[in-house]
Structure 1
Amino acid sequence: MNTYSYLVSDKIQELILFPTEQCNFRCVYCYEDFKLKRMSPNIVQAIKNFMDNRAPKLNFLSLNWFGGEPLIAKDIVLEISNYANQLSRKYDDLSYSSGITTNGYLLSPSTFKELVEEGVTHYQISLDGPKNIHDLTRIKANGKGTFERIWNNLMSIKNSEYKNFQILLRIHLTKDNLPHMSDFMGELRDHFVGDPRFQILLKPVGKYGGPNDHKLNVINDKEEQIFIEQFKSMLYQNSTEVNDFKTDNVCYASRPNSIAIRSDGSLAKCTVALHDERNSIGNIEPDGTLNINKNRLSPWLRGLVTLDSETLECPKRMLP
């Protein structure tokens, strides 16, 4: 299957699921408002019904868990993942994969074991630098630090018997933490470089509409690549085992076979533009039918018509 066919194929279905939009963190750069609660049992059942309806015609089903912090609603993650697993066993042509974007605080060894056994094998976890820096920006709702718990969870996972998983460590960069990152690159190198189960993404923090955007000391576009290459050099040195993460040049929101289902059952294309009404494209019905406003949906897919690379990379840019 060529790239374009993959992007538009109705035999592929990606669901981005928000089991809750509550979070145990209050990161200083966060853009979410935490107004929505847990998925109700009715929404959970509607998602199962949707998967039931789609499964016989699918070759690939992907579940990606988002939030909030999805592990606050771990029971929902496990319930729907288990159901997707059952469907993949029922239909010979159906492959299933699952990933989760988590802050890592609740990713204990026992929780990791439960998730992996239900097919949740891809993880994205963010760190803001060494403990003294991270604990200033990725803080709990009660204001306490989070680094030690996350790091201990990562070490437990690294030392576990499991081989079939991938963890993307997203390392945030700001002008405030740059002076502290050189030593942290060495720590990351010592623990993760050379382990094929871990990848590293160096990512400058952006202003995405959060209440603290005016306070963020972000790196400008001209400097971004300079600092990234500088830290990559420290991270990998002369290693031939570069587990650097390569970003996809086509955003999930550009693809017709990708849809986000929020905790209240509303549908979206983008996980960043949660407060933009143009991103509210419909809702899921109790029987699993997706009730989609085609006028809201079509602008997100315009890159597949124009084949403009910038639009495909981020359809939110210049969204009509």
Structure 2
Amino acid sequence: MSGACDIIDKSTYQVISRRKFEALDGTALKCLFDRKYLFQNQKKFQKEVALIDEVLASKKVVPNFLIIPTYRCNLSCGYCFEAAYKITENMSSNIEWIEQCLNSIDEIVTQSKKDFDFNDKDVYITLMGGEPLLAQNYEQVSEIMNQITNHGYSFNVITNGTDLDVYLDELIRFECQSIQITLDGSKEIHDNRRIYKNGNGSYEKIFQNIELALSRNLKIYLRVNLDKDNLVDLPNLAKELLDYFGENDNLVPYVYPMQDGGCLGDGGIIDEIVCIEEIQLLNEKHPQMALFDKKFHASSFMDTVFQNQQFEMKFRNCSATNNQYIFDYKGNIYKCWFGIGNANFKIGTYGKALSLNRQQDALWKNRNIKTLTKCQSCKYRYICGGGCLSHVMTSADDAKKERCIDFYQIIKAQLKGRLAK
């Protein structure tokens, strides 16, 4: 509930674990009450929970947006979840949609400002695809960056990095805040996974472009999609990154266990707890593994405990269940990027006018730990936020159903690794 963490001696632990609180001395008992590990009765506990829920429910979130300039990609990654929708056409040469898109974003921003005020620069727009930085789309994508800047918003880019060099001047000119690039392992591993349409690997070109971007002082988040095939290769990738780039504050590598195998199916997906344990073994053997930030469920909660960071309680699971909108070049609007191109995830259209399906928008926004029955009594509710709605919808379950993660085992596994350091 609070992110608080305290170290206790063994005798105190034994008393607490047996729930013999009356056996504690006054100082220890007062600490438990003050730190809100313990409440006088259920009514006071429920009052505290209701207060937290009220604060979280009233918290306003600045809207964020994604723009999909194309579904086409110059790579052919086997695990691509978008490829399952079989949308591969490129945007047309007509750039009228760009102005219509930004005007619709303006409309949503203006509507949001009726609830609370915020600075337009706090509105982030992410360019994503497909591959948003295809060299062949240079003029249109440059115009998107230009329009975003003219409308007063900030932006970042998610790209495979292969054509990044073509856009470096524009990214700097329009003050791109950050770039996310995927690198799935050392050269041999990556070049077997993230390949061009002709079968050639993309590793060397991506490395060269990262070096160019860093030389221009651009911030790079380097994502490694983990599955059973590349997990053990992480130390090799860490060594190559350190040998090539050294320690650079503008390069932030992180690992992310894949939860969807895309066209390859889920056969390669590694259980998250197994993934955590395997990475901990690699950490013990290979000091260079410290280079990677690790993105697991409850990682931010663990950072609260071990890095003294502010505990960010979750009322909702993610941006998709909050104030996020995704615009593609075809005039469609979605809530979740795992559903772009999928008609089941569509919540509206734009063009000469913005048209949002308020009922569909509300389906996402109303999903939180107060509206999901099972969440109301779950001890992990503020860490989880109700689970991923896109996974629920994809499996054709009731959209009001929770998606539960084994937080007990996941936290336990991470705890072992953090205490071992």
| TM-score normalized with structure 2 length | 0.63
For 2:180 and 2:281, locate their aligned partners in 1 and report how far apart those are by CA, in whole Å.
Answer: 23
SS in 1 for 2:325: strand
Moved more, 278-287 or 134-143: 278-287
The correspondence of residues 211-230 of structure 1 with structure 2, limited to 5 A, is 211-213=263-265, 216-230=267-281
- In 2, the alpha carbon distance for the partners of 1:152 and 1:237 equals 22
Aligned partner of 1:93 in structure 2 is none
In the TM superposition, what are the counterparts of 1:231-310 in structure 2 within 5 Å? 231=282, 237=288, 244=293, 250-255=317-322, 257-274=323-340, 276-287=342-353, 289=354, 291-304=355-368, 306=370, 308=375, 309=381, 310=384
Unmatched runs of 5 consecutive residues or more in structure 1: 89-95
Residue 25 of structure 1 is matched in structure 2 by 75
Read off the aligned partner of 2:390 and give its amino acid letter.
K
The letter of the residue matching 1:285 is G
| Alpha-carbon spacing, 1:232–1:45, altered in 2? closer, same or farther (3 Å) | farther
Q: 1:31: Cα distance to partner?
A: 1.5
How far apart are 1:118 and its partner, in Å?
0.8
Is contact 1:101-1:124 (8 Å) kept?
A: yes
Q: Which runs of 5+ in 2 are unaligned?
A: 1-54, 301-313, 376-380, 394-398, 400-421
CA distance in 2, matches of 1:5, 1:235: 45
Aligned 8 A contact 2:66 2:126 in 1: yes
How far, CA to CA, are the matches of 2:192 and 2:324 in structure 1?
Answer: 35
RMSD over aligned CA atoms reads 2.9
Of the two structures, which has the highest relative contact order with CA contacts closer than 8 Å and spacing of 6 or more? 1
Distance 1:82-1:122 versus aligned 2 partners, 3 A rule: same
2:43 aligns with: none
Cα deviation for residue 269 of structure 1 reads 0.8
Output one character per residue of 1:199-249: Cα deviation in whole Å (capped at 9) or x when no partner: 1111223325x33215x422122212123334556776597xx67366776
**Cross-structure match for 2:129:** 67
Using structure 1 for the length normalisation, give the TM-score.
0.81
Deviates more, 1:43-52 or 1:33-42: 33-42
Q: How far is 1:318 from its partner?
A: 2.9
Report which of the two has the higher share of strand: 1
- Contact 2:189 / 2:230 at 8 angstroms: preserved in 1? yes
- Aligned residue-pair number: 298
Q: 1:62 to 1:213 in 2, by over 3 A?
A: same
Work out whether residues 255 and 292 of structure 2, in 8 Å CA contact, stay in contact via their aligned partners in 1.
Answer: no
Larger radius of gyration: 2
List aligned pairs for 1:36-51, cutoff 5 A. Answer: 36-38=89-91, 40-51=94-105
Equivalent residue for 1:107? 164
AA aligned to 1:229 is Q
Distance in 2 between residues matched to 1:199 and 1:103, nearest whole Å? 15
* 111 and 206 in structure 1: CA distance in 2 versus 1, 3 angstrom threshold: same
- Pairing 1:152–2:218 present: no
Q: Which has the larger share of helix?
A: 2
What do residues 66-99 of structure 1 show as CA deviations (whole Å, max 9, x unaligned)?
Answer: 10000123333321221222232xxxxxxx3211
Per-residue deviation, 1:25: 0.6
Runs (4+) of structure 1 exceeding 3 A deviation are: 2-6, 51-58, 189-194, 228-239, 245-250, 274-278, 307-313
The aligned residue for residue 87 of structure 2 is: 34
1:266, CA displacement in angstroms? 0.6
Q: Is the 8 A contact 2:69 2:328 kept in 1?
A: yes
Secondary structure of the 1:272 match is helix
Match among 46, 62, 77 for residue 141 of structure 2? 77
Tell me, what secondary structure is at the counterpart of 2:256?
strand
